[in-house]
Amino acid sequence: MESQEALVYTLISILFFLQILFWKLLWTRYITVLSTPQLTRHLNPTSHTLTAESNETEFMSYMLRKSKSVNKALDEAVPLCEPVLKIREAMRYTLLSDGKRVRPMLCLAACELVGGQESTAMPAACAIEMLHASSLIQDDLPCMDDDNLRRGKPTNHKVFGEGIAVLAADALIALAVKQIATSSTSSPEKVLRAILEMAKAVGTEGLVAGQAADLAGEGMSLEENDDVGLKHLEFIHIHKTAAMLEAAAVIGGITGGGSDEEIERLRCYARCIGLMFQVVDDVLDVTKSSEELGKTAGKDLIAGKLTYPKVMGVEKSREYAERLNREAREHLQGFDSDKVAPLLFLADYIVNRQN
């Protein structure tokens, strides 16, 4: 009898142990399933990655996260302190204003596309945004576009005066070079290549050439579909607008360790979205209000500047923007479908933006 009871107790113990083991294995399997990328992307809306299956809402969350990271780095790069406190205030006024951060996001996404990390490209991304902020200050000056409103606020020279605005723009260019030159996240060779790309984008091969052509084109008498006007307009914006986006993508590719072929494809992609950005900008300028845009609407038309709607008409301008979007996407074919997702979403975001 005692031996039978002992056997029963033994069997019960074995069954109890097997039950515990079963539930332990089942729980481990459940955790493993939850950890797969396909599920975590849906269960965790704050996931830091985009994939080919992501949607527009996830992309906007992605942009917001990148923007916050960039803003934090920019804030730390220009502290409010002496000396020249007033200059620093003017620098921060434009640099930290409520922008879309398209250029630094493009730099970070390009770096990650070719296998790099966000932290590696962050100094370069900040440098690109500093150059962009500098160009906005200069573009708004009375001797250039003479604008009073930028990103929903008075322009830099309206707040700080023309002298301080010019000095703030100069200081941002110098700080951009320093930001990359002193970076410890890239090799000296990559740093040099990045600085050369920046210099090309800003100087007489880039933004300066575009701005000069823009000034020369004011008041030019043109009809719609004028080939000469279109060529002049393309020159302006390949240099004035696209060059900075091109530099952002190329520098991101360089810091991420991309091959020459990958970097060239990024360059072509960025040139397309750069032109597309300007085409959309010109259309919005004649179809939206100043309140909607956050800047003075219709000012280019009043100033007699060359714009895509002026040369091509609004509808053909929109069609051209869509064609540039298709071309941009073609340059990215062959990249990993998940890693390239942010750049594909960015192209759609630019062509569909409303301000």
The count of structural domains within the chain is 1
- Residue 105 is assigned to a structural domain of this protein: yes
Grade residue 268 by pLDDT with cuts at 50, 70 and 90: very high
- Residue 236 is assigned to a structural domain of this protein: yes
Q: Which of 133-137, 173-177, 260-264, 282-286 is predicted least confidently?
A: 282-286
Checking if the pLDDT of 198 tops 50, the result is yes
- Please give the Cα distance from 59 to 229 (Å, whole number): 36
Three-state SS letters, 244-281: HHHHHHHHHHHHCCCCHHHHHHHHHHHHHHHHHHHHHH
Checking if the pLDDT of 240 tops 80, the result is yes
Helices 118-140 & 162-181, crossing angle to 10 degrees? 160
In this structure, how many other beta carbons lie within 10 angstroms of the beta carbon of residue 82? 7
With contact defined as beta carbons under 8 Å apart, do 154 and 147 qualify? no
263 is written with which tokens? Answer: 């970097």
- Residue 101 is assigned to a structural domain of this protein: yes
Checking if the pLDDT of 315 tops 90, the result is yes
Which range, 23-27, 37-41, 45-49, 346-350, is most confident?
Answer: 346-350
% residues pLDDT > 70 (the chain): 83
244 is written with which tokens? Answer: 């900075």
pLDDT of amino acid 46: 37
Beta bridge partners of 150: 153
276 is written with which tokens? Answer: 């597309």
- Identify the CA nearest to 103 among candidates 78, 52, 66: 66
pLDDT of amino acid 353: 87
% residues pLDDT > 90 (the chain): 63
With contact defined as beta carbons under 8 Å apart, do 305 and 264 qualify? no
- Residue 17 is assigned to a structural domain of this protein: no
Kindly state the DSSP code that residue 52 receives in the 8-state scheme: T
Could you tell me which residues come within 8 angstroms of residue 297 by beta carbon, excluding any fewer than 6 positions away? Answer: 285, 286, 288, 289, 290
pLDDT of amino acid 16: 52
Question: What CATH number is attached to the domain comprising 176?
Answer: 1.10.600.10
- Identify the CA nearest to 198 among candidates 126, 92, 281: 126
- Mind giving me the DSSP string for 218-249? TT----TT-HHHHHHHHHHHIIIIIHHHHHHH
- Residue 84 is assigned to a structural domain of this protein: yes
- Residue 177 is assigned to a structural domain of this protein: yes
Q: Which of 38-47, 119-128, 202-211 is predicted least confidently?
A: 38-47
- Residue 69 is assigned to a structural domain of this protein: yes
- Please give the Cα distance from 168 to 282 (Å, whole number): 27
pLDDT of amino acid 305: 79
Grade residue 65 by pLDDT with cuts at 50, 70 and 90: very high
- Residue 142 is assigned to a structural domain of this protein: yes
- Please give the Cα distance from 256 to 114 (Å, whole number): 6
Q: Which domain holds residue 102?
A: 53-352
C-alpha triplet 197, 198, 200: angle, nearest 5°: 65
Q: Convert the pLDDT of each residue in 247-256 to its tens digit.
A: 999 999 999 9
> Which residue did the predictor score with more confidence, 332 or 6?
332
- Chain center to CA of 97: 15
In this structure, how many other beta carbons lie within 10 angstroms of the beta carbon of residue 334? 10
| Backbone dihedral angles phi then psi of residue 77, each to the nearest 5 degrees | -75, -25
> Which residue did the predictor score with more confidence, 128 or 33?
128
